[in-house]
Amino acid sequence: MNLNDHQIYAGIYPVTLGVDSFALGNGIVLSATYAHLMQHLIMAFTPVSPGQSHSAPWKQAKGGSTFDIRVQLYVPTNLQPPNHFDRLNVVWLVAALLRLKITPLVQVPVISNMAFSSIASSSEDPIIVAIENTTERLIPIENPSHVLNEPELLWVRNHWFNCGELYMLSTDFSMALLAFDSVTMLKKNSIALLVLWGAIEQLFSPAKQELRFRISAALAAYLEPAGEKRLDLYKNISKLYNKRSEVAHSTGNADFEIVTETYRILARVLIKIIEQKHIPTRGELEIAIFS
């Protein structure tokens, strides 16, 4: 069954909701709930034909993971998503913006076609699909809070739909947002650093010459007005780009602090692009640098 044909309830982990419920617009609602997702590893020892069930004895293997779901995201069947988005992609988009603005700890371990509170008493079998369910993640934490509070949720409500439209209109922005959102699920600092800089270059690298200066200057000019703070940011970004180059041309790993600094800078860029509903052009960046 395709969940896009049904109402969607997405479990959000490991956060709680600072209010009982919060409407994100267009019928999408975050609300408090409870469900416990168990992923235990079981082994059987008798071969069977394809499609048949393994018979006992079964033995539990060590490992697996569990998730206490305390927030659900409801997406109605009549939602009209941004251009060419389906409703499952809307779940990802909202989760990505929660990770971007509030905390990168957010995951969507499970999606159902029923509210989690109604499944136990329902006479119908639910459709339950496990998705983002890895517990080993690279987390550059800007905000460690596990509570989704109203001020940050207002930001998500004000911007998720326009962000979806921008995502569909701009390959540079969509690739940068996807890259940024994937970093917390990577296992190696050096790979995360290269992915983050790949996203930055997608947005701020109009030419292939003098990349360190062009990207560092453009980023600093985009994020800070002319003055000492811009110069300090330029110097810091140049330092981070040097570390990126060292990793790209060696087998060494990157310091976690370098990954975290780069992650925070890209987060600032993406938030500003989303708030302004505009991706800076090469001409605009050159004016910002040199005027």
- Categorize the per-residue pLDDT at 267 as very low, low, confident or very high, splitting at 50, 70 and 90: very high
DSSP states of the chain: --GGGS-EEEEEES-EESSSEEEEETTEEEEEEEEEEEEEEEEE-S---TTPPPPSPEEEEEEEEEEEEEEEEEE-TT---STT--HHHHHHHHHHHHHHHT-TT-EEEEEESS-HHHHTT-SSPP-EEE-S---------S----EE-HHHHHHHHHHHHHHHHHHHH-HHHHHHHHHHHHGGG-S-HHHHHHHHHHHHHHHH-SSSSSHHHHHHHHHHHHHS-TTHHHHHHHHHHHHHHHHHHHHHTSSPPPPHHHHHHHHHHHHHHHHHHHHHT-PPPHHHHHHHHH-
Q: Work out the number of other CB atoms within 10 angstroms of the CB of residue 202.
A: 17
The reported pTM is 0.87
The per-residue pLDDT for 209 is 57
Distance CA 68, CA 37 (A): 6
Residue ranges per domain, the chain? 3-39+65-143, 170-290
Give the length of the chain.
291
Distance CA 229, CA 223 (A): 10
Amino acid sitting at position 254: A
Distance CA 26, CA 16 (A): 22
Percentage of the residues of the chain whose pLDDT score is greater than 90? 59
180 vs 146, which has greater pLDDT? 180
Residue with tokens 């006992």: 56
Average confidence (pLDDT) over 56-81 = 90
Give per-residue pLDDT as tens, 69-108.
999 999 999 998 887 789 999 999 999 999 999 988 899 9
- From the CA atom positions of the chain, what is the Rg in Å? 22
- Categorize the per-residue pLDDT at 1 as very low, low, confident or very high, splitting at 50, 70 and 90: low
Burial (0-12, 13-18, 19+ Cβ within 10 Å), 174:
middle
Give per-residue pLDDT as tens, 187-239.
888 989 999 999 999 898 755 556 788 889 999 999 999 999 999 999 999 99
Q: Do 88 and 4 meet the contact criterion of CB atoms below 8 Å apart?
A: yes
> Range with the lowest mean pLDDT among 36-40, 250-254, 263-267, 284-288?
250-254
